[in-house]
């Protein structure tokens, strides 16, 4: 069997005033997840715990993202994070940027290709 990607979802989140990269990333993950109700596990008659969830997070300061905190957003599945430089810090008049995070969530199962 091999890891077979079945879907990818995208999200964007912000931290408007606190420059909190984890909060921006959390909101991006929620944006991707909360707009969907995809029942992949049921469709393939698999337990939800078998879902392999790879999360790509892009922010300007990747070392400021707490992936343990991000993992709590997911109710099930085996979560792996890859945090990279990206997203956007938007300058504000007070000198503190608004933080924007982007995420891509890939959901896979270990299974034979159809």
Q: How far apart are the first and last CA of the chain?
A: 11
* pLDDT tens column, 25-36: 999 999 999 877
Rounded to two decimals, what is the model's pTM? Answer: 0.92
CA distance 80 to 95: 34
Residue with token string 């982007």: 102
pLDDT value at residue 113: 80
């Amino acid at each position: 069997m091999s890891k077979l990607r079945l879907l990818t979802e995208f999200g964007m989140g912000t931290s408007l005033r606190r420059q909190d990269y984890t909060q921006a990333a959390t909101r991006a993950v929620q944006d991707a997840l909360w707009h969907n109700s995809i029942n992949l596990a049921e469709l393939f008659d698999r337990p939800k715990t078998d879902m392999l969830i790879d999360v790509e997070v892009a922010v300007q300061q990747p070392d400021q993202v707490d992936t343990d905190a991000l993992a709590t957003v997911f109710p099930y599945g085996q979560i792996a994070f890859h945090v990279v430089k990206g997203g956007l810090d938007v300058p504000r008049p007070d000198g503190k940027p608004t933080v924007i995070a982007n995420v891509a969530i890939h959901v896979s199962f270990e299974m034979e290709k159809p």
